[in-house]
Structure 1
Amino acid sequence: MPGLLERNRTTTVLECLIICGLAIVPLFLTFPYRVNIFLSYEGAYRMYLGQVPYKDFGTPLGFGFWLVPSLFFKLFGPHMMSLVKAQVFMNILGGFAFRSMMRSLNVQPIIRLLSILVFAISYSFFNFWPWYNHSVIVYEFVGLAFLLAALNREYKQAWIVYIQLFLSATFLFLSFFTKQDGGGLGLLLALALLVYGCIQDRKYLRLGIFIASYLIIALAVFLPFQKYNIGYWFNHGQPPHNSRLSVADFADAIMGESQWIKFYLVLILLLLIPAIKQFSKTWEDRNFMLFTLLTLGILAEAALFQVTSYTPPDNNIFFHSFAFALIASLLTSQLHIKLDGWKAIIAGACLVLLWWSGTYWKYIDRVFARFLPGKEVANVSPTGENVVSKHNFMINLDTTDVPTSEWVFTSIKGFEKMYMPPSTVHGMEKVLAWKAVNFQGKMPKVLNMTELTPLAYAMPYQLETGSNYPLWYHLGVGMFNKQLQLFTRKVQRQEYDIVMYEYAPTLNNFFPFALRETLQQHYRLADSFLAPRRPTNANIEVYVRKNDTTDWETLQYSESK
């Protein structure tokens, strides 16, 4: 018994080290400016200032996504690196939620340890920045962790189970109020697990408590915002929003892609044949049934989530660790493999690290590239022959691209430890210098339709508010024709002292093209510089009133200003 306890303590310590150790890596790094991170920043910054969602700004999402980033802005200030710290917390939270689920399902300690390693390295490690398609899953996992604890752990006091059901409902609603698709799928999975548990032990009160808790929490959140037009903003497929439920898209994604999901599904079904043959006995095995239902539900959710939330393309890979845990448990049971001791831990960890080497190799490769032969790109060999290799077989004709190796850091507050194209940094400095020259001690009226949302803190300037004001400007996604008409009228009346517009011609109205045409008619283009994107295929255009005579060529940035 002491030996078993000692091994459990060892695996517990290793699990905590994996979850926390891999999560804190970003705290020691510097970063290129992240594409689309402007949305995470502005929502958190507005809430940091005390603005109320739907009252002061509209968003087609719930505001659950910005709760943690805004809290970290309060703790560490509204800096881009505060978002990284917020994501470190989310990665740790997700890791321990997954660990809790594996514990509730009584997964063998070593398989649980290796599954946590798979979870951390395949899903958490490379998520350095907060994004709603990740946060929705983390909140779901926390809710499922509380639910499985209530269903599959023995508690002498019933009130503990009821509290866990309430907490499960709270986090699953928070998941829904972060992103509707992932949160809705998470709720369906939770109900499936709960219905099985209640039928299996004939205790239906828990189902009633969970549903009542979820409805009470939902009403408590939605009702206060009814007067702020939450029904217009909150996207459940109604106009002016676009429904993403397309049978053709689901068929294309599942049948034409989803190789890992289908591979896991086929392997799991093969391993379940013995259990299916004696289904009545399997049905009574509560632990086995919950584990199987959870894993199959996660695979189904991942298959659907990749269609309803299609960016970034790998945001659904949370399923790997669940499939690995179930497959490893079934294989070791059917093949009578005993996993015990350090040899099993080391061998298993090496195999997992080899399997997922792609997630960390690119960071190691930056070091190896300095001295490993073959990393340099040569066009001509020492003998004068033309050299064609995997590094240069295609000719890059994009003359505007600025590789990240040439990006630079800036001292502008809010952007610390971030590097961007030199053109972007110089352009921001000119904007700050313009403000210092023309608005000493005053705030200009600014419309910032770019990814450089921290400028609101750096300049600073007053953010516009209103229940009809969009949090971000992607036409058809974050704003609609009603808001486009609003901004068009404001530009025509020249209400803004300066307008920063990001022109991204390859993106579909990422910032509405029609407004650019209005700007060109009623404002003067004072400057243009690269947007901080990879590849650098978008420009930030700076417009000022036509009577503004500032000479932008002579503007000089000074930190003291």
Structure 2
Amino acid sequence: MSPNARRWAFLEIIIIVALALVPLFVTFPYRVNIFLSWEGAYRLSSGQVPYKDFGTPLGYGFWIIPALFFKLFGPQMVTLVKAQVFINIIAGLSFRSILRSLGVTPGIRLLSVLVFVMSYSFFNFWPWYNHTVIVYELVGISFLLRSFFSEKRVFRYVYMALAALFLFLSIFTKQDGGGMALMLCLALLVYNSLETRRWSDIAAFIGFFGLIAAVFILPLMPGFAYWFNHGQAPHNSRLAVNDFTEEIMGNSNWIKVYVLLAVFCLAAGVKQWGTWIHQRRDVLFALLTIGILGEAAIFQVTSYTPPDNNIFFHSFAFAFIASWLCQLLSIPLNTGRSVLLATALVLFWWSGTWWKYVGRYADRLFPDKEVVYAPNDTHHENVVSRRNYMIEADSSDVPVSKWIFSKLPVFHHIYMPPQTVEGIDRVLALPVVQQKKDHIKVLNMTELTPLAVAMPFKLETGPDYPLWYHLGVAMFNRQLATFTEKVQQRHYDVVLYEYAPSLNNFFPFALRDELKKHYTMVDSFLAPRRPTNAMIEVYVSEAATRSYTDTLLQKADTLK
């Protein structure tokens, strides 16, 4: 590697690593749905076996890295942030490797890496399966492309085996993104084999993939066949034609603009299609870009929450279009000045990602001087501005600025609504919790899954026990019937239930009705959501209620 190439590589890696490390130096509010990341990682790190000790409609690929970090750093919530730092670094390096394999010039590659980090990695502080599935895909594509251009046969098959492994992990993280990743890679593989006449590569890749899938899946049977969602009952498919047409034709403006620009670039740049079709790197780059845009269009429908799951496409489209435009318009991006100017433009383009952090300091330097005066103030006019023209109707919401930290180690560096922190302390102070200690039986149907460590209590296991409780998604009527029977028999000492009326059976509504019949609700407090629109209800059994009442009476007697 020449000194100039080393300098470009150094800058690219610095961008990837430096921005990925930012989360290590800040604190965080409790993240909606992060409970799922924590519990899956905790169960794996505790030695539990998926589909034997718990069921999930996904594969367990998503939890592998967080579980490893739990083993290394402990099961604190903030360990998930450390795991995501590692995931973001791997994602950036994989994207860089893809561009190197495709022969993207250093200046455009540097800018593309910056776009990738700013548009997809920088704001991902917490691990989530809709992100991890794409990261595994990027790793798989990077190894597959390296196998295409490897001169040594042994290395070619090693890279191909690694590509098969990570593409399987992509499917084993999320079926939709992983399935599309596999189809995209098969298309690249077919074209490459057609050009190189190495048809054995297709057989080798499929063989590696099948062997890896068998090694992962067969030991998990028969529970895997029931839990892993491939559209079979009791699961349901998310493939609805109307959903795709409505989202793609009615929205998806960025994707459609990129497709249009990519077509224009090819139309303007390709003079002899018969010759160009044999330029492997150029054609692979075009196939990959169009494939990623198509995947993003479908992914936004099949994985619809949060709404920005599919923005991995920006960096690929930028790299492809910028490569062609710089070539067609003879724009040199090989000097420090030109790259610096282009970097400033990219940062301006993606200012929404970083300005929310810088904006906090800007608000302090330039505070809003407008004051709203009451109508009966005869000395001043009532001021209505961009910042106050709407009146917040939800008076129960607790803004993040008022959230506080818990003293519990598992929630270190994580802040929550004061009502949540105080409610957790009251739960831990319950007489039944204090008396039974490690032998307490708890059903925790809330987002506060780290209470398993804070209380502590032993998590239930079994091949029919769901990892989380979203009815129709992660558990079904069979599991609901089991929980209902246990509640009716007062199997649990304490049940924590999160009532989120705006979410469709995110925690089964029917079970709440049973709890009200057979348990006593002794407390309720805000769930750590933003906005704070859900309540955590604390139910205890009749025996625990008597103990709780006796304790209160004893305290009253002591005060007398």
Name the TM-score, length of structure 1 as normaliser.
0.95
Deviation at 1:371, TM superposition (A): 2.5
Q: Equivalent of 1:32, from 29, 32, 39?
A: 29
Q: Equivalent of 1:258, from 252, 257, 260?
A: 252
* 1:454 corresponds to: 450
Deviation at 1:377, TM superposition (A): 6.5
8 Å contact kept, 1:433–1:555: no
* 1:232 corresponds to: 226
* 1:346 corresponds to: 340
CA distance in 2, matches of 1:36, 1:437: 26
* 2:175 corresponds to: 180
8 Å contact kept, 1:377–1:391: no
Q: Deviations over 1:369-418 (max 9, x none)?
A: 12213377645699521111121111112121000111100111210001
Secondary structure of 1:203's counterpart equals coil
8 Å contact kept, 2:433–2:455: no
Q: Equivalent of 2:492, from 482, 493, 496?
A: 496
8 Å contact kept, 1:64–1:174: yes
Matches within 5 A, 1:311-460: 311-374=305-368, 378=372, 384-434=380-430, 438-439=434-435, 441-460=437-456
Q: Deviations over 1:256-290 (max 9, x none)?
A: 11010000000110111145552111111111000
8 Å contact kept, 1:505–1:538: yes
Q: Which amino acid aligns with 2:471?
A: L
Residue range with higher mean Cα deviation, 538-547 or 96-105: 538-547
8 Å contact kept, 1:19–1:120: yes
CA distance in 1, matches of 2:27, 2:378: 37
8 Å contact kept, 2:438–2:456: no
CA distance in 2, matches of 1:333, 1:344: 15
Matches within 5 A, 1:29-428: 29-151=26-148, 153-155=149-151, 157-227=152-222, 229-275=223-269, 278-374=272-368, 378=372, 384-428=380-424
CA RMSD of the aligned region, Å? Answer: 1.7
8 Å contact kept, 1:271–1:330: yes
* 2:477 corresponds to: 481
Secondary structure of 2:56's counterpart equals coil
Deviation at 1:465, TM superposition (A): 0.3
8 Å contact kept, 1:45–1:78: yes
Deviation at 1:250, TM superposition (A): 0.4
* 2:558 corresponds to: none
The 3 A distance-change label for structure 1 pair 106 and 375 is: farther
Secondary structure of 1:448's counterpart equals strand
CA distance in 2, matches of 1:480, 1:377: 53
* 1:559 corresponds to: none
8 Å contact kept, 1:434–1:555: no
Q: Unpaired segments of 5 or more residues in structure 2?
A: 556-560
CA distance in 2, matches of 1:25, 1:435: 42
8 Å contact kept, 1:306–1:316: yes
Q: Deviations over 1:48-80 (max 9, x none)?
A: 111000000000000000000000000000000
8 Å contact kept, 1:435–1:459: no
Q: Which amino acid aligns with 1:105?
A: L
Q: Which amino acid aligns with 2:162?
A: L
* 1:543 corresponds to: 539
CA distance in 2, matches of 1:373, 1:86: 37
Residue range with higher mean Cα deviation, 516-525 or 409-418: 409-418
8 Å contact kept, 2:398–2:532: yes
8 Å contact kept, 2:296–2:310: yes
Secondary structure of 1:184's counterpart equals helix
Residue range with higher mean Cα deviation, 435-444 or 120-129: 435-444
CA distance in 1, matches of 2:291, 2:396: 45
The 3 A distance-change label for structure 1 pair 431 and 332 is: same
The 3 A distance-change label for structure 1 pair 276 and 385 is: same
Q: Which amino acid aligns with 1:331?
A: L
Deviation at 1:5, TM superposition (A): 2.8
Residue range with higher mean Cα deviation, 269-278 or 528-537: 269-278
Secondary structure of 1:311's counterpart equals coil
8 Å contact kept, 2:176–2:302: yes
Alignment of 1:14 with 2:8, yes or no, is no
8 Å contact kept, 1:377–1:392: no
8 Å contact kept, 1:193–1:294: yes
CA distance in 2, matches of 1:84, 1:383: 52
Identity %: 58
Q: Deviations over 1:281-313 (max 9, x none)?
A: 111111100000000000000000000001110
